[in-house]
Structure 1
């Protein structure tokens, strides 16, 4: 092989600098990241639904045990089952509220991704995710952890979009919007809980007062 050919082949190889530049991953466009965030939220909602179904079945079993214990006049067992039923109901309510909040957040993200002002509308959404994450920690911890990651992504999007458009982060607006979303989710969940969870039988169960 001639020296000229070797020189030409070496010149065709990318330099270290060009390889370094190619290795730098370009950040994904904001709207693509929003779409991926919506997907992750829907996956978490599916996980919450699975947990909810298991807990609802557990509640129904406990409800039957309470009823049987009351009919048998076994007040001690009835009280134990009733207390456990109340705890399970609380967990179901936390999950249901979180589900409706995530649904509303996902819809808002879809609207923002298509038509909205990302810098303005994203902050309340991030606050909602942060608010529902805490109560889920003791109920569905794996979902809570993932929501923490999603919340971090949303906060990054807020900062990036705000920096790109020079739009200030209106804390009062974001807080009010977040409260509105959470209030709507809570109202829907409260009504659904009344429809899906029967009231425990009131049969003079003993009340254990805390000693002072």
Structure 2
């Protein structure tokens, strides 16, 4: 009873069990410091993605204006070319937006860890999420690849150091399912925002002719 009371007092003083265990394994790297380091890495990636997203939005508006101008001049060929270019830009913009939202979800999970100290259950889905994001983001923004790897390593170290039980408290299937749910949520949000904020570009000769006639 005295042991339980002693540990309960430790929790009340703001020191979680997971933090105690991590401090024993790596005294120089407390749970709080490691979470803060991961949060800084995440915020850096989110800021970079946000900056890229803003540039893509500017390009989007410029290209769409060129489509309208081409239609006004009845230049169907040029309007179609710009429409194809705009569609490709939207794919990249959606990928960037989805990755940003997913990273914000990871950031929320890190905040939960700092409050609850439940490292393995909370962060395990994040590992699959990062691994899923890395290939697609690396193709669009290669400079993020090493930073994403560093973040993955930091989260992996925290999970490994906190896994003191011989019996895992999560399964790979659960891990993948949680990560997929987060990715789907981010995808649905970004799709909804895109549909509500961006008009569809003309993609066929019929559409170009009809919209040109309506404008003129």
Shorter-chain TM-score category? 0.7 to 0.9
Q: Which residue of 2 aligns with 1:197?
A: 198
**CA distance 1:205–1:91, change in 2 (3 Å):** farther
Post-superposition offset of 1:165 = 4.1
- Aligned counterparts of 1:84 and 1:36: Cα–Cα separation in 2: 39
Considering only CA atoms, is the larger Rg found in Structure 1 or Structure 2? 1
Higher helix residue share = 2
SS at match of 1:137: helix
* 8 Å Cα contact 2:80-2:203 kept in structure 1: no
TM-score (normalizing by structure 1): 0.78
Q: Secondary structure at the match of 1:125?
A: helix
1:199 is paired with a residue whose SS is: coil
Q: How far did residue 65 of structure 1 move?
A: 0.7
Match of 1:130 in 2: 131
Q: Is the 8 A contact 1:48 1:95 kept in 2?
A: yes
Partner of 1:19: none
Structure 1 residue 55 displacement after superposition: 0.7
> RMSD of aligned C-alpha atoms?
2.1
Report the counterpart of residue 36 of structure 1 in structure 2: 37
Tell me the CA shift for residue 82 of structure 1: 1.1
TM-superposed CA distance for 1:29, in Å, is 1.8
Determine the C-alpha separation between the residues in 2 that align with 1:27 and 1:122. Answer: 21
Shift of 1:184: 1.1
Structure 1 equivalent of residue 112 of structure 2: 111
TM-score (normalizing by structure 2): 0.77
Whether 1:93 and 2:94 are equivalent positions in the alignment is yes
How many residues get paired? 182
Between 1 and 2, higher relative CO (CA 8 Å, sep ≥ 6) is seen in 2
